[in-house]
Amino acid sequence: MIALQHISKVYEVGGQPIYALRDLNENIGSGEYVAIVGPSGSGKSTLLNVIGCLLRPSEGAYFFNGEDVSQFDDQALSYVRQHQIGFIFQSFHLVPRLTALGNVALPMVFAGIPSSERQIRAKEALEAVGLSDRAHHRPNQLSVGQRQRVVIARAIIMQPLLLLADEPTGNLDTHSGQQIMELLESLNAKGLTMLVVTHDPKVARRANRVIVLADGQIVKRVKGEELTSGSAPFF
């Protein structure tokens, strides 16, 4: 479903080119559960942004679901993000003045889905993450674990093909982090392709496949269970 071919991302810093990603090749199949790990500055976030169609690569081709989205314009990229990709952020990024229901319904607003249908679908999504009794609470009235559930409900509301999670448990305690991962894995079990960027070896180990990045390149590909706490040097 995802095919990255010779992807590079270059930034100019003080006239010097800085490679955030360097000639990166990778294929991720439909329904996979992949973790991306690596030290800070290794290019994890850049890679996630490229895959999430938030960032165009400087070089190379990116095929998403069979289309070369590296050539898409803003409108087309927005469409892909809207309909095919769900985002989960470490710091939630919920709109503080909207209720849980309003936040979950937000992607549908920009997709032009009528209000009545939005209500029904948003309620269903909140139910799916176990938050139907918190629908009318605002983010600051929810616990961090509950907030991340709202974010997950919002990410799946458009029924995407791909779920991108950037440190999904980074702001959570161990217990709610555990619950969130279980929730995400249950979605993966239903066929949703999942990509998780993380520092946490315990999270990465749960994935089927782990990609280890360093200096903008993939330095290692391992199976999740092969990863032990002892392999910490990568993080």
Partner 1 sequence: MLIDLISLAWSALAGHRLRTSLSVVGVAVGIGAVVALTALGEGARQYVIQEFTSIGSNLLSVLPGKTETTGAMPGIGGVPNDLTLEDLLALRRQIHSAQYIVPVSMGTETVSHGERRRQVAVVGSSPEFLEARELRLAQGQFLPTGDVERGAPVVVLGHITARELFPGEQPLGQVVRVGEWRMRVIGVLAEIGTQLGIKMDEVVIVPVATGMKMFNRSSLFRILVKVRSPKDLDSACEQVIAILTQRHDEEDVTCITQKAVIATFSSILQTLTLVLVAIGAISLTVAGIGVMNVMLVTVSERTEEIGLLRALGATHGQILSVFLLEAVMLAGLGGLVGLLLGLGGVHLLTWIYPAVPAAAPAWAIGAALGLAMMLGGIFGVLPARRAAKLDPIMALQRR
Binding mask 34-73 for partner 1 (x = CB under 8 A): ---------------x--x-xx------------------
Q: Which of 63, 92 has the CB closer to partner 1?
A: 92
Q: Which of 82, 132 has the CB closer to partner 1?
A: 82
Residues 145-204 that bind partner 1 (CB under 8 A): 154, 158
Which one of residues 33, 62, 64, 87 is an interface residue with partner 1 (CB under 8 A)? 87
Q: Please identify, among the stretches 76-84, 124-132, 195-203, 220-228, the one whose residues bind partner 1 according to the rule CB under 8 A.
A: 76-84
Residue 17: phi and psi, rounded to 5, are -75, 130
Give min distance, CB of 7 to partner 1, in A. Answer: 16
Give min distance, CB of 93 to partner 1, in A. Answer: 4
Give min distance, CB of 191 to partner 1, in A. Answer: 21
DSSP class of residue 209?
A: E
Cβ(106)–Cβ(139) below 8 Å: no
Which one of residues 12, 14, 40, 74 is an interface residue with partner 1 (CB under 8 A)? 74
DSSP sequence for 81-128: HHHHEEEE-TT----TTS-HHHHHHHHHHHTT--HHHHHHHHHHHHHH
Cβ(205)–Cβ(227) below 8 Å: yes
Cβ(25)–Cβ(7) below 8 Å: yes
Reduce the DSSP state of residue 62 to 3 states and report it: strand
Q: Which of 24, 227 has the CB closer to partner 1?
A: 24
Give min distance, CB of 154 to partner 1, in A. Answer: 8
Q: Which of 88, 222 has the CB closer to partner 1?
A: 88
Q: How far apart are CA 133 and CA 227, in angstroms?
A: 38
DSSP sequence for 1-14: -EEEEEEEEEEEET
Let me know the angle formed at the C-alpha of 222 by 220 and 226, rounded to the nearest 5 degrees. Answer: 135
- Partnered with residue 2 across adjacent β-strands are 28, 64
Which one of residues 3, 10, 106, 144 is an interface residue with partner 1 (CB under 8 A)? 106
Which one of residues 9, 81, 149, 205 is an interface residue with partner 1 (CB under 8 A)? 81
Which one of residues 38, 43, 57, 107 is an interface residue with partner 1 (CB under 8 A)? 107
Q: How far apart are CA 88 and CA 112, in angstroms?
A: 22
Give the interface with partner 1 as residue ranges (CB under 8 A): 49, 52, 54-55, 74-75, 78-79, 81-83, 87, 89, 91, 93, 95-98, 106-107, 109-112, 115, 154, 158
